[in-house]
Amino acid sequence: MMKSASTLIDTVPTPKQKQVKSTVFSRLRKNNIAFAAFLFIIALHLLVFIGPLIWRVSPEALTTHGALTGWSLQTPMGTDEIGRDVLARILHGGRVTLLVGLTSMLFSVFLGVVVGACAGFFNKVVESILMRITEAMMAIPNFFFVLVALTVLGTSPVMVVIVIAVSSWMEIARVVYGETLKWKQYEFVEAANAAGASPLRILIRYVIPQIYPSIIVAGTLCIAWAILTESAISYLGLGIQPPTPTWGNMLQNAQQYIWTAPILGILPGVAITLIVLAYNFLGDGLRDALDPKVVRKK
Amino acid sequence: MSRFLLNRLGQSIVLLLIVSVITFFLINLAPGGPSAAMRMDASEAERQAIITQLGLDEPVVVRYAQWLGSAVTGDFGVSFSTSEPVLERILSRIPYTIELTLFTILFAVSFGILFGIISAVKRGSLRDHAINFISVIGLSIPAFWLGLMLILLFSVQLGWLPSSGVGADARGENFSLLGWLSYLFMPVLILSTTILPNIVRFTRSSMLEVVNQNYIRTVRAKGAKERYVIYVHALKNALIPVVSIIGVLIPRLLSGAVITEAIFGWPGIGSLIIQAAQGRDYPLVMGVTMFVTIVVIVCNLLVDLVYSKIDPRVKNV
Amino acid sequence: MKKVLWIAFSITSLLFLAAGCSFDNNDDGDVTNNAGASNNESSETNGNNTNDSETNTNDSEVAAGEPGGRVSIPIVADPTFNPWHPNAFAESNVINRVLFSGLTKPGLDLVPEGDLAEDWETSDDQLEWTFHLRDDVLWHDGEPFTAEDVAFTFNEITLNDELGANNSSYFNEVNEVEAVDDHTVIFHMNSPVAAMPAYLSFNTEIIPKHIFEGEEDPWSVNSFNKDNPIGTGPFKMSEYTSGQSVLLERYDDYHGETALLDEVEYRVLSDVNTHVAQIMSGELSIFALDDLASVEQLENTEGIDVLSRETPRFFWISLNQEDERFQDTEVRQAMVHAIDRQNIIDTTLQGFGTIANHGIAPALEEYYNPDVPGLEYDPDRAIELLAEAGWEQNEDGILERDGETFEIDFEIGIQGDLEPISQLVQQYLIAVGFDINLETMEWNTMIDKVVIDRDYEMSLNWWRYPADPDLYAYLHSSNAGTGNNIPGYQNDEMDALLEAGSQESEVADRVEIYQELQELMAVEQPYLFLWYPQEAQIRIDSLQGVPELAFGDALHYINEWYLQE
């Protein structure tokens, strides 16, 4: 009995995923800016994750060249206010910054998907509680809480990631909620339901795969947001703390030297802007590529 | 309508309670204490005396109950760091934040709608792409970094604009419009970047939707001039949803104000919360978060009301 | 529309250009010219009401040394106009020194001089200090100042344990203050305190009895503390705008020389970078620069003087003595040898500091001995000393003893230069094999952890103390655990010297005691003494008459300041 039910579920037809994926990619390729952004993101990740293996200068150790020197062969981007190699710090700082962006996004997507999917899939009570919480969280100027939370809870990298994620999952939850509502009416989901599959199984096996595209778009934009937030809280001295470099705290540090050595502030600032820009363009591009309306027009 | 209001009121009270509980326990259970008790060279006796004076020797739950008891009567207590009533401190700061955010909304909405329309009308043109590109840049630049760069340009290099403050001199008896605006210019510009791109994009998509609707086609078919079609018929209807996004953007605007005020030494509510959190001024932290949450709730309510008034489709919300 | 885009584009590109230029042009003083330009600009837009700005002084009628004008001083937060109030921090001190007067004030050599008191003596057993007060002092509201005010301030405020008044711990040994007649007070002591006159000159100004008498809680008298203070100083309150500025005006019935300046303005500017920007544009007159990164630029700016001033402060590293690894004198000495302090002074402090071998700063000329042998930068010697204590580098270059590596959690609060300094110290210690885990935290959290709970291994900070060599509070074993003896260092020999010094009132004998103490400190390193920082005093050059003292002490002489073209 049980067995036959599950075979039935597995034979329920689902929309063809592969085809969708390939069209998405080809559409993305046609969007020059988004595709360039995509390549830039890959290149930058390769740079900061592989770069330090080639440029093996420690980001924390003092060079022998002194503080605030200009560029030279030994220190291609000069040294910072206490004499550390800026190139090494940019590379290692990039690692941390991008990792914070990625992990915050993953955590935030996880929260968003759980809340959104549950709200969309289960009964009215669950729905209204979860969506009220989501709306409430969106209504609060959450930066005030980010600030208070980080001031009092401390600023370890884990705490920074948690606080960023907790303050940014709502948008994803809303998107996922809307999509779940839409998909759960489709025949193949109803068929699975009729076949007696557990709600959780239906959710994971049939609904969530359908909303991957929206999650990917939201997630991409979420990384951009997380990186920006990390830099903003660093500016207030509440981000990941030195000696661990991040682009955010390098920027905060450079603020004191804005009069004497503005280059220290320009480099990480440009780096943050470019990566956030790239993620935003990619997110926009993906959204267009996945939007059926755009298909019709083109 | 009154049922709608009651419903919203109920939700708001629950929201406020949740926010107050989280904030209260968060700050009270964290390490550190009020600055007065946390002087580096204070003796143990001095610390104890201050803790007792501030009533911090009571258990947290008791203190929360006390706080809630007086908060519902509108009494938010006395600031630990200045011994002044919390409400007084907030009210003395709030005009600056209102000034900053109002100007920002004015600036962002007028330019946002303008660029949004251009973008929609000339869809696919170079201008559309350029506006879109700049919007994304606006979304991507860390606001404080842009602020520092502006200071570097306008204050350090050119010496045109003051780098910080509200220009007390230009406000008093020696009021000068130019002086006043020179202080306002950079903060407004920076705070605008947090909402301007959204308004542009939203106006654009809203315009595009309206332009494709039947009645516009009818107007057009009747032979009305294109300008007339766009600015009278389309714009009127396209702006309706834009009102709603302003409501959504208010929390974001207030969050942005924290950073903007910090960069430009603007003595508003944002710099107050930073001071309050760092100095563990518990009553002030509570007061500011409650105040801000209430402001946001009221703004959203107003926006919804206005929205239901101007949009004939939204009735009996 | 093209125009708008074009403007947007040009602004963006200008930004990058501008940023690049200013970096290149630093050395040839280009920025100076711009500051000049901004100066003109601001005087045009702001009207010409400010006499403090350079350009305006040119136009005004104020001639050299003549009275008039206004100086502007930055403060970082809203002040509290009551020197004893627990919320009166540094930003309040610089105002309260001008509004109020103490019994004594630091003299030009930092030796206490009379202010409200004309002279004083101590009884043979040193258990009574008698102060003879001036009889010509009026409060700003016209009431006469008497011995009752002094007795009230101490008995009801300072010595009231429930209030936890600022600095009250300096007066722990005072039993009672007695007003003998209108102009004589006696401090009755539990045990002798030689530094009494010095303590009385350090943020311990007298407040009026006729205002505070009968008030249940002096800290909540906001009409005084936050609004309209009544003092005896050379300037009185004129206007206070919360979050923006405090304006004081000359008090014509001041008991000393009547002030030359008309007004003193304090601007509330929380960001230190703004202080620099505003003194360059002529909006500020004088301050002590905490963040030394901008020193070079200020030095290159015409019309601004950067002066170096000694202050009684020392920077230290505290090693928690509960941890037996740090009880070895060799380990402590090795750590000092490992740190290139001169390099830190030259880079991070821009030269504003002197290497410290002990805790008595050169500001205390009578007591400071520059010839005490110190522990110079010598990493090899550090490694030798560590070897003597049993610590040898393992194959990873990390110190190890009995299979245990030398791992240290280094916890500091975020304030001023502490962050870059600690990162440098960390690198120097890593270089000789320590495994240092630097953890920076918010100031308030650091105080909780390091100062209150003593739950730390290593920390870095500084002490600022009254102009007296009495370091009892920071070093005596009775202050270990909960007092200001942060490392919790205990040494009988040092205790004996500290006790003798704090009770001896004969200067020659005191000097001898503290000479001995300096030598002992230099060897024992109860704190790892780093350096005595000098204050970088930033001043517009039209401001004259400021004595050669640290900014905070010079404020006691603000009645002598004047503006000159």
Per-position DSSP letters for B142-163, written without gaps between them:
-HHHHHHHHIIIIIIIS--S-S
The two tokens of residue B140 are 């991507």
How far apart, in whole angstroms, are the C-alpha atoms of residue C341 and residue C377? 7
How far apart, in whole angstroms, are the C-alpha atoms of residue C340 and residue A62? 12
Beta carbons of A153 and B32 less than 8 Å apart: no
* A239 → chain C, closest CA residue: C441
Looking at every residue in chain B, the average pLDDT score rounds to 84
Report pLDDT for B312: 60
Phi, psi of A259 (to 5 degrees): -80, -40
Q: Which residues pair with C75 in a beta bridge?
A: C268
Band the pLDDT of C65: cuts 50, 70, 90: low
Q: Tokens 């209204």 — which residue?
A: A128
Point out the residue among A141, A224, A248 whose CB comes nearest to the CB of B296: A141
**In this complex, how many residue pairs, one in chain A and one in chain C, have their CB atoms less than 8 Å apart?**
72
pLDDT (mean) for B199-210: 85
Looking at every residue in chain C, the average pLDDT score rounds to 87
Higher pLDDT, residue A182 or B310: A182
Band the pLDDT of C28: cuts 50, 70, 90: very low
Beta carbons of B159 and C41 less than 8 Å apart: yes
Q: Which of B42-51, B58-67, C521-530 has the lowest mean pLDDT?
A: B42-51
- On whether the CB atoms of residues A63 and A74 are closer than 8 A, the answer is yes
What residues contact B247, with CB distance under 8 A and at least 6 apart? B299, B300, B302, B303, B304, B307
What residues contact C267, with CB distance under 8 A and at least 6 apart? B165, B168, C72, C73, C74, C75, C244, C245, C278, C283, C284
Beta carbons of B156 and C86 less than 8 Å apart: no
Report pLDDT for A237: 81
Residues 111-150 of A with CB under 8 A from C: none
- On whether the CB atoms of residues A255 and A265 are closer than 8 A, the answer is yes
pLDDT digits (tens, 9 = 90+) for A216-263: 888 998 999 999 999 888 888 888 888 889 999 898 888 778 777 888
Beta carbons of B277 and A140 less than 8 Å apart: no
Q: Which domains does chain B have, with CATH numbers?
A: 2-72 (no CATH), 86-310 (1.10.3720.10)
**Residues of C at the A interface, defined by Cβ within 8 angstroms:** 16, 19-20, 22-23, 26, 31, 273, 276, 291, 293-294, 296-297, 347-348, 414, 419-420, 423-424, 426-427, 430, 438-442, 445
Contact partners for chain B, using 3 or more CB pairs closer than 8 A, are A, C
Residues of chain C with C-beta less than 8 angstroms from the C-beta of B267: 243-244, 268
Three-class DSSP category at C320: coil
Report pLDDT for C266: 95
A122 closest CA partner among A202, A210, A6:
A202
Higher pLDDT, residue B173 or C37: B173
Mutate to test the interface with B, among C12, C15, C45 (most CBs of B within 10 A): C45
Beta carbons of B256 and A265 less than 8 Å apart: no
Amino acid code (one letter) for B129: H
The C-alpha angle B232, B237, B241, rounded to 5 degrees, equals 140
The two tokens of residue A198 are 């557990």
3-state SS string for C6-61: HHHHHHHHHHHHHHHHHHHHHHHCHHHHHHHHHHHHHHHHCCCCCCCCHHHHHHCC
* Percent above pLDDT 90 for chain B: 24
The DSSP bridge pattern shows strands C263-268 and C70-75 to be parallel
Alpha-carbon gap: C285 to the closest alpha carbon of chain B (Å): 16
pLDDT (mean) for B237-244: 76
Report pLDDT for A274: 94
Q: Which of A47-56, B244-253, C414-423, C436-445 has the lowest mean pLDDT?
A: B244-253
Per-position DSSP letters for C199-238, written without gaps between them:
HTTSS-----HHHHTT-S-GGG-HHHHTT-----SSEEEE
* Percent above pLDDT 90 for chain C: 75
Report pLDDT for A293: 52
What is the rounded end-to-end Cα distance, in angstroms, of chain A?
49
Report pLDDT for B166: 77
From residue A245, alpha-carbon distances to A75, A98, A153, A173, C479 in Å are 17, 12, 20, 32, 38
Q: Residue C138 carries which DSSP code?
A: B
Residues of chain A with C-beta less than 8 angstroms from the C-beta of B273: 144, 147-148
How far apart, in whole angstroms, are the C-alpha atoms of residue C30 and residue C34? 7
pLDDT digits (tens, 9 = 90+) for C68-101: 899 999 999 889 999 999 999 989 999 999 999 9
Alpha-carbon gap: B204 to the closest alpha carbon of chain A (Å): 15
| CB of A198 less than 8 A from some CB of C | no
Beta carbons of C37 and B158 less than 8 Å apart: yes
Higher pLDDT, residue C197 or C62: C197
Helices (H) and strands (E) in chain A, counts: 14, 0
Region of residue A237 (phi > 0: left; psi between -120 and 50: alpha; otherwise: beta) = left
What is the rounded end-to-end Cα distance, in angstroms, of chain B?
8
E strands, C392-493, are 392-393, 399-401, 404-405, 407-413, 435-441, 458-464
Higher pLDDT, residue B208 or C486: C486
Report pLDDT for C417: 87
Q: Which residues pair with C184 in a beta bridge?
A: C132, C181
Report pLDDT for B313: 57
Q: Does residue C7 surpass a pLDDT of 60?
A: no
E strands, C291-406, are 304-310, 313-319, 353-355, 392-393, 399-401, 404-405
Report pLDDT for C55: 38
Region of residue B83 (phi > 0: left; psi between -120 and 50: alpha; otherwise: beta) = left
pLDDT digits (tens, 9 = 90+) for C523-533: 999 999 999 99
Report pLDDT for B311: 65
Band the pLDDT of C137: cuts 50, 70, 90: very high
From residue C71, alpha-carbon distances to C229, C280, C358 in Å are 20, 14, 37
Alpha-carbon gap: B172 to the closest alpha carbon of chain A (Å): 31
Q: Does residue C34 surpass a pLDDT of 60?
A: no
pLDDT (mean) for C481-507: 93
From residue A50, alpha-carbon distances to A61, A91, A94, B228, C464 in Å are 19, 9, 11, 58, 48
Per-residue pLDDT of chain A (298 residues; tens, 9 = 90+): 344 444 444 444 455 455 556 666 777 777 888 899 999 999 999 999 998 888 888 888 887 777 777 777 777 888 888 888 889 999 999 999 999 999 999 999 999 999 998 888 887 888 888 888 888 787 777 777 788 788 777 778 899 999 999 988 988 898 888 888 888 777 777 788 778 778 778 888 888 888 888 888 889 989 999 999 998 888 888 888 888 899 998 988 887 787 778 888 889 999 999 999 999 999 888 888 876 554 433 3
Higher pLDDT, residue C164 or A236: C164
pLDDT (mean) for B287-303: 87
Neighbouring C-beta atoms of residue A124, cutoff 10 Å: 7
- On whether the CB atoms of residues B180 and B211 are closer than 8 A, the answer is no
* B160 → chain C, closest CA residue: C38
Residues of chain B with C-beta less than 8 angstroms from the C-beta of C37: 158-159
Residues of chain A with C-beta less than 8 angstroms from the C-beta of B156: 258-259
pTM across the whole model: 0.83
What is the rounded end-to-end Cα distance, in angstroms, of chain C?
50
| CB of B22 less than 8 A from some CB of A | yes
Point out the residue among A138, A144, A280 whose CB comes nearest to the CB of B136: A280
Report pLDDT for A236: 81
Beta carbons of B178 and C245 less than 8 Å apart: no
| CB of B151 less than 8 A from some CB of A | yes
pLDDT digits (tens, 9 = 90+) for C307-333: 999 999 999 999 999 999 999 999 999
- On whether the CB atoms of residues C279 and C304 are closer than 8 A, the answer is yes
Q: Does residue C13 surpass a pLDDT of 70?
A: no
- State the alpha helices, DSSP H only, in B72-195: 86-121, 126-140, 143-150, 168-171, 177-192
Q: Does residue C37 surpass a pLDDT of 60?
A: no
Q: Which residues pair with C185 in a beta bridge?
A: C131, C179
Residues of chain A with C-beta less than 8 angstroms from the C-beta of B32: 152
- How many Å separate Cα A5 from the centre of its chain? 39
Neighbouring C-beta atoms of residue B101, cutoff 10 Å: 24
Quick one: which H or E segment has residue A100? helix A86-121
What residues contact C20, with CB distance under 8 A and at least 6 apart? A262, A263, A266
The two tokens of residue C48 are 């010409």
The two tokens of residue B6 are 């009651």
Q: Tokens 């339901």 — which residue?
A: A193
Point out the residue among A61, A81, A155 whose CB comes nearest to the CB of C293: A81
Residues 78-137 of B with CB under 8 A from A: 133, 136-137
Q: Tokens 């696919």 — which residue?
A: B124
- On whether the CB atoms of residues C514 and C364 are closer than 8 A, the answer is no
Residues of chain C with C-beta less than 8 angstroms from the C-beta of A257: 293
Report pLDDT for C36: 35
Beta carbons of C440 and A242 less than 8 Å apart: yes
How far apart, in whole angstroms, are the C-alpha atoms of residue B96 and residue B82? 20
Q: Which domains does chain A have, with CATH numbers?
A: 86-295 (1.10.3720.10)
